[in-house]
Structure formats: structure tokens, C-alpha cells
Structure 1
Amino acid sequence: MKWRWRAEADPPAPQGAIGIGAAAQGLLDALARVDARKREALMLTANADAAIVTGAGDALPWSDGVAYIAPRAEAPALWLPTTQRPDLPLDLLLRAIARRHRQSPLLLWPEPMQIVPLHRALPASDELIAQIRAHWRS
């Protein structure tokens, strides 16, 4: 299935942040500086080159190179960049993606193209941040 990305005409409010590459480390650093009580409401997951934090928009950390994400009303289990969307109907796209990726919700990221399961996100504790950093160093 091929599609193109286009600008989001009506960007939703951010419900998550993603950092890829060097921006992932910056996002973890910014997250570690968030007050522990405020951080309790945030969830964190990562893969080999990305860190993803989800939660209330006003609680999300900011760092250079970080982009914001959110689900859309027409496909609540599909998260996208707040500023872009595929040129296909999102409900159909989600069904096609879900055939291969049984977990949901899923983040569809354009560059580099990734599908990231978000169901593994855990509370953004100091321990989890340290585990991710250790994994990235190994």
C-alpha cells in the first residue's frame, strides 16, 4: 500500500512527543528534568532510535528536534504527527496496518517510516529512563 503524507489542515492538540536519533536522547534528558509528580502522568516507550512520551499536552517535555503526535477521531488507535497525515482514509489505513501489527494503539511515523506499537508504554520513571539509556549504550 502506497500513500503520501500531506499537511494536517486542522492539527489536533498534542498528546505525545517523539524524538528520533539525537532528539531521542534530548527528549529523555528533558523528561528526566520534569518534576516527578508531573511525570507520573506520562507514559514512555522507545525503540532502537526513538523515544516516545504520551500524556496530557501541557505535561509533555520540550527538547530540540522533538515532534508532537496525537490520535485522530476517525481512527483513535492510530497516532500520527500533529502536523501531517496520510492521504488515505485513516480507518482503512489502520485496518491494513493492524493486519500485520496486532497491537494497538500504533504510531505511524513518516521519516524514517516506522510503525511503533504504543501499548508497551510504561510510566516514565527514573528507572525506565535509565533502562532505555543503558539499552541504547549497549
Structure 2
Amino acid sequence: MSLVPVSWTPREPPLPASAVAAWGEPARALGARLLRLDDASLARLRGAAGPRAIVVLGDAADLPWVDGVVYLGTDADAPALLLPTNARPSAGAALFARALARRFPAAAPPIAVLPGPGQLVPCAAASPLARGRVARWLAEAP
């Protein structure tokens, strides 16, 4: 199967945010910001993370703000994906979602699409955030 490059174009109006994602140094800053939330605020969020990326899911009003993060939302044409709120894939959301489902059949939705590093983060197993888990992730993150 040959790969087709996907570019991103501005989206107007933006999608409503339902997640925030970061990779690299902004991911560490997001983790640190999460640790500064009170317990009630932290409990309203769920998260999924890898070695260099973190995705936090929740209501838009509960999502923390940190420089360098990307807010994600759901496009009605691609409900299995969490896409950048301010950009759309050049192939169209529905076609892009079908291509990703064929290429990564084991990835359970929702799948966060992080265009900057070209990463996908499956979020089906996102779990409620707990202070200890966030602290451990920060301690282990490169």
C-alpha cells in the first residue's frame, strides 16, 4: 500500500474542543500543569500517554491551557478521530478516517491525530487522571 501525504488547511469555524494534546517539551509542561490542578478538576479529565506525547480528554471548560499544545475535537464526518480544532486534513475528514482505519485496524477509537509529529494516539483506554499517575509519567518521560 502506498502512502499519500496529507496536508492540513485552516478550519473555520473551529471544532469545539474535547481534548488537548502535546508532545515533546509542551507535553512535559502539560503534565506539570495537570499536577497544579485541584483534585476535583483533575478527576473530571481522562488521559492517554506515550513516551513523548500526552492526550487529555474532557469538557472544553476543564481542559488546561499550556503554550505549544494542540486542542482536538470531533468532526461529524470522522467521529472516530480527534482532529485539531483549527485545521482539517486535505483529503477530507471522512476519507482520512477511512484510510487510517484501514492502515491501523487495531487502533480503537477515539484516535487523536497529532499532525505536528505525525503521530496517532489511540484513546479508547484513556483513564481518569490521578495525581500519582501523572507524576510517574512526568518522571519517566524523556
Same structural fold, with TM-score higher than 0.5 when normalized by the shorter chain: yes
Normalised by the length of structure 2, the TM-score is 0.89
CA RMSD of aligned residues (A): 1.4
Matched, 1:67 2:70: yes
Partner in structure 2 of residue 129 of structure 1: 134
Retained in 1: the 8 A contact 2:47–2:54?
yes
Distance 1:93 1:82 in 2: 15
CA-CA distance at 1:135 after TM superposition: 2.7
Normalised by the length of structure 1, the TM-score is 0.91
CA-CA distance at 1:131 after TM superposition: 2.6
Uncovered stretches (5+) of structure 2, i.e. residues with no partner = none
Which amino acid is the alignment partner of residue 128 of structure 1?
A: R
Counterpart pick for 1:98 among 76, 96, 101: 101
Partner in structure 1 of residue 115 of structure 2: 110
- How does 1:1-138 map onto structure 2 within 5 Å? 1-101=4-104, 102=106, 103-136=108-141
Larger RCO: 1 or 2 (CA < 8 Å, sep 6+): 2
Distance 1:38 1:136 in 2: 23
CA-CA distance at 1:100 after TM superposition: 2.9
Aligned residues: 137
Uncovered stretches (5+) of structure 1, i.e. residues with no partner = none
Which amino acid is the alignment partner of residue 29 of structure 1?
A: A
Distance 2:31 2:53 in 1: 10
Which amino acid is the alignment partner of residue 120 of structure 1?
A: A
Identity %: 34
